[in-house]
Chains A and B, each alone.
Chain A
Amino acid sequence: MTLFWQILINGFAISSLYALGATGFALIFGVSGVLNLSHGALMVTAVVAAWAAGDSLHVGPVTGAAIGVAIGFAASLLTYFVVVRPLQHTRKIREEEREIFILTATLLWGIMIQQLIAYFYTDNAKTVAPIVQGIMSIAGVSTPSNEVFTAVVCWIVIALLWLLVNRTRAGKAVLAASMNPRGITLLGVELSRVYIAVWAIYGLLVGIAGVLLGMFLGISSYSAGPLTASAFAIVVLGGLGSVPGALIAAYVVGYLETITAYLISPAYRTIPALLLLVAVMYVRPRGLLGRR
């Protein structure tokens, strides 16, 4: 019985983190059609910034986390303005090749960020000082308080995002853009403003997810690739561009991994989720809730 609760609790925390990370990734793709392969590198940037703030500026955990989120936010906007936007607007690239150019550019951008971080801060794993410490007992399972904190923050942020998208005018514009970008321009909404808004939201999500991950598990510059891959896998499983699909897929992957780690072996943790992904590709290529 303890095992059941352990899986339930640990699986929930890790899944919530996956959900937050993948939501932003899905949002960007849904709205602007950009597969941002620098996703993991941006998360690592936020973590290393939060760690470095604690390490060299000696700020407290809350300030450190805030600095990490702010840097993640800035890095996201920088990615949009320096890498994505110029490629979206240039006439030198043919329309049908545009997506692949942006895809490649974000991949290279991610590698550049990763190498810069490794150069200045080494590729050793960093841990962000946790805001809450200690352990608590839930249903007889001793759980780090930080794990509970992680899950709670993830869900608050996801709830706020839901409110933003469904209850505000700007959010509705984002939603509309994801359904029909051309239609929204006919309504007089400037698409590039929607893009900036989406990248800003994405930046916050990436910053928060990164810092939480840095507190929970720790991260090194090497993690950039695997983080992008896991977000990508979750988003493909959920259906490209579908935020609710990404949320469900995050829990499927998170629990599948946790169950494997507990019942089979931690060494095989990621394998069943990848097999599931392959199976979904065969049976239902558009993913769980994909529209296309």
Chain B
Amino acid sequence: MDRFESPGSAAPKLAALAASAALAVLSLTAPALAQSGAPIKIGVIAEATSVAGSSIPQAAQLAADEINAKGGVNGRKIQIISYDNHSSAAESVRAFQRAATEDHVNAVIASYISEVVLALEPWTGRLKTVMVTPGAASDVITQNIAKDYDHLKYTFHGYLTSTSLAEQVCDAAKDLLVKDLHMKTAVVMSEDAAWTTPLDAEYLKCLPQIGLKVVDHIRFSPDTTDFTPIFNKIEGEKPDVIVTGISHVGTQPTVQWKQQEVPIPMLGVSSQATNSSFWNDTNGATEGVLYQAVSGPGVAVTPKTLPFVAAFQKRFGNLPSYCGYTAYDEVYYIADAIKRAGSDDPDKLVAALEKTDWVGTIGRIQFKGKDTPNPHALKVGGSTIPGLMLQWQNGKQVNVWPANLANGKLKFPPFIKVGAAE
């Protein structure tokens, strides 16, 4: 019943894996075959049944088909091989091994879950296979590369690090909340996960700098179902805003925020809110929620953004999630790097990817250098990736920041009391 080639779990497959692992060791020592005419294979390991993750293989396929329609890369077609990892790190590792050793992929695009990407990272070095993540955020991914560059240089971070996410949230909060609404206090509310540790650290640092005093810092388990105690506590502390770091926990915090009519706006990172289906999933409870994103419906971040969204919607019937944009870009710049490298050799591909300068759908893609604390992380801000702050308004995602890309103004549902501090 799987739509995708499943990594499989049956015993015969394990045996085959062991055999192919032995073969792979042999083939790794052989010179890389720069087959002319042989397809360029890109493995896609993703959470295919989650809304955010399902966009990853779809967007990758869309990009591959577009490139192939224009004749491919030096006459070579791009072939996407998808594996559903069921959100599991163990299944992802098996899929990665199979992609590298059996399916002989040139590169892998993998996952939006930091824990999964961190589990795959050592395997990129062991199997000398390039991996780009379209959606994980933990800074540790690139910090690891700094510590052990020679082994881990095959990993590239194709999405913003948590620190960058927090910085963008602070930049937006400074303009929207401090300058315009004169807010003074905040509560940081994040799920307990690998990606929020650096996120919260940066929040606690940058919020006071922009003039928002952090009165409480709440970390909750991602399997929390009842948020009543958390919101009651926050209400008692009377902050002007709740700054969020939520993703894997799902719809609950948003739904209960509305149900309990917590009179405090929520702003921050809310990954699920980037999905166009979030309105229906929450029955409209997301009205007024502000969330950071690198793209949004109707926002022409670059000339490529809107054509991509239109093509995606025409083909799959829904809008891409945040990691749909990045996965689409990744296929393009991996193809571009293979073209520039002129070889299938993984080390040459790494060198070419490091020189990436590609205008994609979320901005201009450039990676940070080997000597920075976060090698292979995306450069953000300015002329690279501007970042947005969107708000759910009447069932639509409206961009309210930065001013030059905004297509609407801040608007809150009636139960929110803003301006108490004014």
A218, B250: Cβ atoms under 8 Å? Answer: yes
Is B54 a contact partner of A122 (Cβ separation < 8 A)?
yes
Which residues, 219 to 245 on B, are CB-close (under 8 Å) to A?
A: 219-221, 223-230, 232-233, 235-236
Residues of chain B with a CB closer than 8 A to A54's CB:
283
Q: Tell me whether A124 and B260 are in contact in the complex, defined as CB-CB below 8 angstroms, given that A258-B229, A266-B230 are known contacts.
A: no
Distance between Cα atoms of A55 and B318 in the complex (Å): 14
Q: Which of B225, B226, B272 has the largest count of A CB atoms less than 10 A from its CB?
A: B225
Determine if B259 is an interface residue (Cβ-Cβ < 8 Å): yes
Q: Are A144 and B49 in contact (CB under 8 A)?
A: no
Scan A257-268; emit 1 where CB is below 8 A from any B CB, else 0: 010011000110
- Give the shortest distance, in Å, between B115 (CB) and chain A (any CB): 15
Q: Which residues of A contact B220 (CB under 8 A)?
A: 266-267
B136 at the interface (CB under 8 A from A): no
Known contacts A258-B229, A266-B221, A266-B229: does B259 contact A124 (CB below 8 Å)? no
Determine if B260 and A267 form an interchain contact, defined as CB atoms under 8 angstroms apart: no
Closest residue on chain B to residue A13 by CB atoms: B228
Is the Cβ of A130 less than 8 Å from the Cβ of B259?
yes
Choice from B3, B224, B228, B282 contacting A127 with Cβ under 8 Å? B282
What B residues does A116 contact at CB under 8 A?
A: 1
The residues of B that contact A147 with a CB separation of less than 8 Å are 228, 259
Interface centre among B87, B255, B277 (most CB of A within 10 A): B255
- Is A282 located at the chain interface by the 8 A CB criterion? no
Q: Is the CB of B224 within 8 A of A269?
A: yes
Q: Is A6 an interface residue (CB 8 A)?
A: yes
Residues of B contacting A118 with CB < 8 Å?
A: 49
Closest to A112 in B: B1
Chain A residues with CB under 8 A of B259: 130, 133, 144, 146-147, 216
- Report the separation of the CA atoms of residues A205 and B108 in the bound assembly, to the nearest whole angstrom: 47
Residues of A within 8 A of B256 (CB): 144, 217
Q: Say whether A14 faces chain B, with CB atoms less than 8 Å apart.
A: yes
**Complex CA distance for A55 and B250, rounded to whole angstroms:** 18
B326 smallest CB distance to A (angstroms): 19
Interface size class on chain A is: 35 or more
B250 contacts which chain A residues (CB < 8 A)? 124-125, 218, 220
- What chain B residues lie within 8 Å of A226 (beta carbons)? 223
B3 / chain A contacts, CB cutoff of 8 Å: 119
CB < 8 Å neighbour of B225 from A124, A217, A267:
A217
Q: Is the CB of B221 within 8 A of A119?
A: no
- Chain B residues with Cβ below 8 Å from A220 are 250
> How far apart are the CA atoms of A262 and B228 in the complex, in Å?
9
Smallest distance from the beta carbon of A50 to chain B beta carbons, Å?
11
Chain A residues near B50 (CB-CB < 8 A): 122-124
Within 8 A of A (CB), among B176-229: 192, 219-221, 223-229
Q: Is B418 an interface residue (CB 8 A)?
A: no
Contact B252 A124 (CB under 8 A): no
**Interface members, chain B 316-344 (any A CB < 8 Å):** none
How many angstroms between the C-alpha atoms of A272 and B227 in the bound complex? 18
- Is A135 at the interface (CB under 8 A from chain B)? yes
Distance (whole angstroms) from the CB of A77 to the closest CB of chain B? 24
Give the one of B192, B228, B230, B259 with max A CB within 10 A: B228
CB under 8 Å from chain A, chain B span 236-290 = 236, 250-252, 255-256, 259-261, 272, 275, 277, 280-283, 285
Q: Are B261 and A218 in contact (CB under 8 A)?
A: no
**CB pair A124 B226 closer than 8 Å:** no
The smallest C-beta distance from A221 to any residue of chain B, in angstroms, reads 8
The distance in angstroms between the C-alpha atoms of A217 and B223, with both chains bound, is 12
Minimum distance in angstroms from A219 CB to a CB of chain B: 9
- B318 shortest CB reach to chain A, Å: 11
| B232 neighbours in A (Cβ, 8 Å) | 6, 10, 141, 262
Given the complex, which residues of A lie within 8 Å of B233, measured CB to CB?
262
CB-CB < 8 A to B89: which residues of A?
Answer: none
B51 on the interface (CB 8 Å rule)? yes
Residue of A with least CB distance to B282? A127
Contact A144 B260, beta carbon cutoff 8 Å:
yes
Among A119, A144, A146, A218, point to the contact of B251 (Cβ < 8 A): A218
Contacts of B283 in A (CB 8 A): 54, 127-130
Besides A122-B50, A218-B251, A267-B220, 13 new A-B residue pairs in contact (Cβ under 8 A), listed by A number? A6-B228, A6-B229, A123-B87, A125-B250, A127-B282, A133-B259, A218-B255, A226-B223, A258-B229, A261-B230, A262-B233, A269-B221, A269-B224
What 6 pairs between A and B have smallest CB-CB spacing? A125-B250, A125-B251, A261-B229, A118-B49, A267-B221, A144-B259
- Which residues of B pack against A, CB within 8 Å? 1, 3, 49-51, 54, 87, 192, 219-221, 223-230, 232-233, 235-236, 250-252, 255-256, 259-261, 272, 275, 277, 280-283, 285
30 CB contacts below 8 A, A to B, read A10-B229, A14-B226, A118-B49, A119-B3, A123-B49, A123-B87, A124-B250, A124-B251, A124-B272, A126-B281, A127-B283, A128-B283, A133-B259, A134-B261, A144-B256, A146-B259, A217-B225, A217-B252, A218-B225, A218-B250, A258-B226, A258-B229, A261-B229, A261-B230, A266-B227, A266-B230, A267-B192, A267-B220, A267-B221, A267-B224
